[in-house]
Amino acid sequence: MRPRIGVLPLYDSKKQTLWINPLYFGGVEQAGGLPLLLPLSEDPELWDEYLESCDGFVFTGGQDIAPGIYGEETLPECGYQAPLRDNQEQYMLEQLMGMDKPVLGICRGIQMMNASYGGTLYQDIFSQAPSHVVHRQDKPYELPHHQVKIRKGTMLYDILGCETLSVNSMHHQAVKTPAPCAVVSARAEDGIIEAIEFPEKRFMLGLQWHPEHMWQDYASARRIWSAFVSAAIE
């Protein structure tokens, strides 16, 4: 039986609808997993049911994270937030730290992981950490746009087997201070943190780039999805 992978949805508050880029599902499926789109709810009992029902979890991209989660006031440059997502995702991540089920956080996902576990974020890298590196590219999103340096000795290095990787980039927030239990496993040329992991856990990896857009064309993205789904089988 394929491992069941819970995928956290994106939320449109104006239309009050959930949605998902099907490329997230494709990344899970081609790696041998069964993707399940999880509802958003205000009921913690349902959150616990989701946690028990799935073998691994993907925390997806989307809105900015409320700065109050990491103890800061909201700056004017901080974008639209989604409290419904923040509340559910923070709770689930806190529980998953103890459950030790595999977690893959992408874009907003890495940011929520870091904030939930005691780290901080740049609310807007363009005003708080300006650089020559373009962190928000135009379409096509599957094309790499800048390089990251991968730290030897990390799980990410073991998965990819390389020190430098070309990645896509679509963000304006980023990890500022890593969570105390996190290890930085990749940085962009300008020093912006592009990946964190939690070495005491079976598989807990956050990526600032978007491997869901890249798995069809790049073996490196497929290796990430395969490592994640394989961890959910163990």
The predicted structure's pLDDT at residue 117: 98
Q: Which residues are catalytic?
A: 107, 210, 212
Considering the entire predicted model, what is its pTM? 0.98
Full DSSP string of 109-141: HHHHHHHHTT--EES-HHHHS--SS--BPPSPT
How many whole angstroms separate alpha carbon 159 and alpha carbon 151?
A: 12
The CATH number assigned to the domain with range 4-233 reads: 3.40.50.880
Quick count: other Cβ atoms within 10 Å of Cβ 85? 24
Mean pLDDT of residues grouped by 10 in the chain (234 residues)? 97 89 98 98 97 98 97 95 96 97 98 98 97 94 96 98 98 98 98 98 98 98 98 91
Give domain limits for the chain.
4-233
Total residue length of the chain = 234
